[in-house]
Amino acid sequence: MASGDSAQRVVVLGSTGSVGRAALDVIEHDAGARLRLWGLSAHSRWRELAEQARRFRPRYAVVSDPAHAGQVVDELRGSGVEVLCGEDGVVRMVQDPATDRVCTAIVGAAGLKGTWAALEAGKLVALANKETLVMAGPLVMALARATGAPIIPVDSEHSAIFQALKAGERGEVKRVILTSSGGPFRGRSRANLVDVTPEQALNHPTWRMGPKITIDSATLMNKALEVVEARWLFDLEPGQIEVVVHPESIVHSMVEFVDGGMIAQLSPPDMRLPIQYALHYPERRPGLGRGIDLTRALGLGFEPPDRETFPALELGFEVMRAGGTAGAVLNAANEAAVTRFLKGEIRFLDIARACRAVLDQHAFDLRPTLDGLLAVDAWARRELEKWNT
């Protein structure tokens, strides 16, 4: 791929997931004008990783599961792509002095290490791994401030807020309003959700995403995690964050300023737009996303969330207010609960109940270290494994 000297060298962590693949589409569309793929990583989907590496010819390909390293080395022999493995490989690729930007598209707590390494080295981070901020928001933001590493959110709501914040000064912000599609079970009652199957929960009305985030969207845990993410990312007071249900997923979030004016960002639901915004930031470039078609009637609806049917949302607000170790506990408990739900071990409504039980048991610490958070993460997973209805 042709590449100008000024092209930003981009590393994509989690390149075989839905956001990772979309990031590669954005880089491919740019055709080397501004962006060049410098490295990619995947965990177990090694065949797809090797295929991506053959297509883009990056400097590095990292297979984080060492069990598959040999296969990737064989696949890429003679290609000029250097194959690294394990977490050390991720750190080396991310911290390579030639790396300019790192898109962190790994799902779950597994994304923390690579994000941390990128911030430590002062790289611009296009942050698609919300769990990093849910777990360790204050520590992550302090590290970014210390090294001067910019964090540009890729989560569509946070990208919208980031863009809308440019309309005023920080002291002029009254509140931010995160929009939620309401997920596939909007309008249902609790009684109606007792027998929900993983297949039903995996059928999202507006967004096509991986299984973990799709289940999180059905429980509204995704919005709960995003509330926590927003607090740390934008350094907001707990009372400044609200959630509104907006089924069309066209308005991606809003910022209200002190004078009552509200600035929103609108676009069709397509992750490539916020990814492109972050990778090109501060430039805006023509890209793959289409605009909104206003030649046809377009209705936009807003309604308050149903907190009784979706109690996960309240957990997010609680954890956001508490800070400390609470986010790491909720995040880890939820990851383990989603895994158990997908395996058929617990029911849909148990996800929030089990998370609540683990949160209530945990020994809260307001100022944990990173190691303390990792220990809390492991503890919460074990507790959730043991949880019984």
- The binding site for Mg ion (CB under 5 A) comprises 155-157
Taking the complex as a whole, how short is the minimal distance between the CB of residue 203 and Mg ion, in angstroms? 18
- Distance in angstroms (rounded) separating the CA atoms of residues 376 and 382: 10
The partner residues of 243 in beta bridges, in order of sequence, read 178
Taking the complex as a whole, how short is the minimal distance between the CB of residue 178 and Mg ion, in angstroms? 8
Cα-based angle 133, 154, 180 (whole degrees, multiple of 5): 85
Taking the complex as a whole, how short is the minimal distance between the CB of residue 241 and Mg ion, in angstroms? 14
Cβ proximity to Mg ion, 112 vs 178, nearer residue: 178
Cβ proximity to Mg ion, 75 vs 157, nearer residue: 157
Cβ proximity to Mg ion, 64 vs 129, nearer residue: 129
Of 310, 275, 338, residue with least CA distance to 180 = 310
- Distance in angstroms (rounded) separating the CA atoms of residues 331 and 338: 11
Which helix (H) or strand (E) element contains residue 255? strand 251-257
Taking the complex as a whole, how short is the minimal distance between the CB of residue 234 and Mg ion, in angstroms? 14
Q: Which residue is nearest to Mg ion (CB)?
A: 155
Cβ proximity to Mg ion, 13 vs 209, nearer residue: 209
Residue 172 near residue 257, CB atoms below 8 Å: yes
Taking the complex as a whole, how short is the minimal distance between the CB of residue 156 and Mg ion, in angstroms? 5
Cβ proximity to Mg ion, 90 vs 279, nearer residue: 279
Taking the complex as a whole, how short is the minimal distance between the CB of residue 261 and Mg ion, in angstroms? 24
Residue 119 near residue 27, CB atoms below 8 Å: no
Cβ proximity to Mg ion, 75 vs 131, nearer residue: 131
Q: Give 243's contacts (C-beta < 8 A, 6+ positions apart).
A: 177, 178, 179, 180, 223, 227, 305, 313
CB atoms within 10 A of CB 107: 23
- By DSSP bridging, strand 151-153 and strand 124-127 are parallel
- Distance in angstroms (rounded) separating the CA atoms of residues 265 and 257: 15
